[in-house]
Amino acid sequence: MHGLGNDFVVIDARESSLPAMTPAIARALANRRTGIGCDQLILLQPSQTHAFRMRIFNADGGEVEACGNASRAVALLHGEPATIETGGGPITLEPMARGARVDMGKPRFEWDAIPLAYAMDTAAMPVGWETLDAPMAVNVGNPHVIFFVGDCDAIPLDVLGPVIEHDALFPERVNVNVASIAGPDHLKLRVWERGVGLTLACGTGACATAVAAIWRGLVNSPVRVTLPGGDLEIAWERGGTILMSGPATESFRGSFNWDDFASGAVA
């Protein structure tokens, strides 16, 4: 499945049992040369507390807390409204024609909730990397840092993204967003995703960037966020939860031999 070109292998194990997923197996499945190939591996499993549980593994094999685009894809797959469990907290899915609306929960702004390595004002961080400075950090289930720039297409995100992702300021690493204000209700955004790299779209990046722009009074809610893969609409009022709406697509259904990946036969 994919959301705006951010693509996923979704394994539906809600009614079947699987051997334990490991970072090595996730990495092997995500490998575009020798595996199936995806930005994120999504594993659906039973939940004790909610309709089901969505686990997310980045292409580097690391398990993470949230994925906005996959949430819409999973809403489409599930086909009816549901509140589900994720590592970043419960989220509510509402499928729509060719996509979904997702209540992503409340953003967090405390420095230790991002998390950062030490205390600072997360709304105007006194830090910078080359031409990028004074970002805002927001946790929307997963950690994001957001830079507002004149022209986000002019930023060498392929160079600065990995440097910022791995900076010691971010003990759990970070997703790096560069955004430009395209109008009072419109943002343009590019994202360097933690554990993946440049992607065509990042749903949580769009949520975090919209929240940061609304917080700073740069745009109104709802705001259209244009990513390289297409558009999302994000609505957020101070104190409230984030509503994300946009498309999702099922590309194909298939099967694979688990043992090929588990044994290391497929790197």
Ligand X SMILES: N[C@@H](CCC[C@H](N)C(=O)O)C(=O)O
Stretch that binds ligand X, among 44-52, 73-81, 178-186, 199-207 (CB under 6 A): 199-207
Task: Locate 176 and state its tokens.
Answer: 């790096």
d(CA 229, CA 226): 8
- Is-catalytic flag, 207? no
Least distance (Å) between residue 118 CB and ligand X: 21
With beta carbons less than 8 A apart as the criterion, state whether 41 and 29 touch. yes
* Binder of ligand X out of 1, 2, 11, 58 (CB under 6 A): 58
In the set 38, 152, 202, 207, the catalytic residue is: 202
With beta carbons less than 8 A apart as the criterion, state whether 57 and 25 touch. no
* Binder of ligand X out of 64, 91, 152, 164 (CB under 6 A): 64
Stretch that binds ligand X, among 65-73, 79-87, 94-102, 253-261 (CB under 6 A): 65-73
Where do we find the tokens 């995806």? 38
Where do we find the tokens 């043992």? 259
- Is-catalytic flag, 202? yes
* Binder of ligand X out of 2, 108, 194, 224 (CB under 6 A): 194
Q: Which is nearer to ligand X, 125 or 140 (CB)?
A: 140
Q: Within 10-39, which residues bind ligand X (CB under 6 A)? A: 39
Task: Name the strands in the sheet holding 63-64, side by side, starting at the edge strand that comes first in the sequence.
Answer: 2-3, 6-12, 40-45, 53-58, 63-64
d(CA 29, CA 62): 13
d(CA 207, CA 140): 7
With beta carbons less than 8 A apart as the criterion, state whether 72 and 248 touch. yes
Q: Return all residues near 12 (Cβ < 8 A) that are at least 6 apart.
A: 44, 77
Stretch that binds ligand X, among 10-18, 29-37, 96-104, 189-197 (CB under 6 A): 189-197
Residue 6 engages ligand X in binding (rule: CB under 6 A): yes
Q: Which is nearer to ligand X, 94 or 262 (CB)?
A: 94
Whether residue 142 is annotated as binding a ligand: the answer is yes
Q: Residue 170's Cα: distance from chain center in Å? A: 17
Whether residue 110 is annotated as binding a ligand: the answer is no
Residue 203 engages ligand X in binding (rule: CB under 6 A): yes
Where do we find the tokens 């957020």? 236
* Binder of ligand X out of 1, 21, 29, 67 (CB under 6 A): 67
- Catalytic positions, written as ranges: 67, 202
Q: Which residues bind ligand X (CB under 6 A)?
A: 6, 39-40, 56, 58, 64, 67-69, 142, 175, 193-196, 199, 202-204
